A and B are shown apart, each in its own frame.
Chain A
């Protein structure tokens, strides 16, 4: 394993690192997936792939904290998060549906120094996303787009059905350096050449991911375990595979 980049903690952070964050915009990405754009005065910036903690406080003082991935590269005081509402969840349904635009929560971060792309690695990238695991990879893709580089980048994106694709329009208009391959596990679109099912070694063989690609794998545990096993079997070395698992 290589040495991770230290977590950046630039700028004085008030009261234990918690900053007020005002919800500016909420956008539906799927039926249950949302991106939330906040303004966070004094935000110190972040690296693509990092996450933040969000803290909610009830009237009786009860507090709940959860982690959410940053969906976009650093942009002044603007912070964009991806939230997948989980049925019966304590925090995600509130953020996805109830928190009013203009209201505030508290935010701490950025957090995480390993599952990041800081631009110093300018070789080819293979990004593998399962479901809402696409969110931190989107931050990497968007940052990658700002950099002048010929290195290829591949996004392998596993979703249950065509309706579960986040960022469909943005991905459809992919820039030349990026190849996007969407795999459907439950229901493929009509006329699809590939039968619905989870990712296989044949799916990996079909990718334009040259040897020496750095791999970022993010999604539910089962997806990450399975995909990183396939990557290892396909000859990608373990020290070039970085993983982030959701519950």
Chain B
């Protein structure tokens, strides 16, 4: 029993067990980004994996499209508290892009064309948990949602799924990214409500 917010009833949510604490379901697809949306042409797009010892490999757009494609259907959770269920994507698994990289790195920094960065443990982008996604709901990913391609790491808050992704850089040490340096949680597990430094 509480004496807060008298008369508030709320809605019965139909997504029991799929809605992390403090989230609410949305039908729309809100946009969150810190600056203007870059408009990138696919004929000038590349994705680069840097292994941390000076080695790198890159794919252009056609090469990325020629890699094995996956079609994940996943729930996504934004730190601004909306969750969206059963979102349908198409993209290339990070397992394919990181295959054969010889590294002692334990982390990656995802880097975007607008200068945005976000850090993740290597273990969280391998093992079928992360993709470079270029289609949403059967259509090319629109610029405001991160197109032509964004990272998709649905088990973490969605700021980890860097829009306009340009590549990933493997790092031995953990390097906080843009929001992580600004007070957002370093790891960002929605089920443990890891929103900010104080969580």
Contacts and interface: CB of A to CB of B under 8 A. Distances in A.
Given A64-B10, A228-B35, A243-B36, A4 B4 contact: no
A230 B10 CA distance: 40
Nearest to B12: A62
Interface string B168-193: 00000000001101110000000000
Contacts of A55: 4
A65 B35 contact: no
| Dominant secondary structure at the A interface | mixed
A225 interface: yes
Nearest to A9: B198
Contacts of B11: 90
A1 B38 CA distance: 13
A207 interface: no
Interface in B53-103: 80-82
B22 A57 contact: no
A247 interface: yes
Interface residues of A, number: 51
A104 B3 CA distance: 7
B81 to A, nearest CB: 6
B2 to A, nearest CB: 5
A206 to B, nearest CB: 21
Interface in B21-60: 22, 24, 26, 28, 30-39
Nearest to A1: B115
A193 interface: no
B8 A58 contact: yes
B114 interface: yes
B136 interface: no
Contacts of A63: 10, 22
10 contacts: A6-B182, A56-B5, A59-B9, A90-B11, A224-B31, A229-B37, A231-B36, A238-B36, A242-B35, A247-B82
**CB-CB nearest 3 A-B residue pairs:** A7-B183, A4-B182, A228-B36
Interface of A: 1, 3-7, 9, 13, 16-17, 20, 53, 55-59, 61-67, 90, 94, 98-100, 103-106, 111, 113-115, 221, 224-225, 228-229, 231-232, 238-239, 241-243, 245, 247
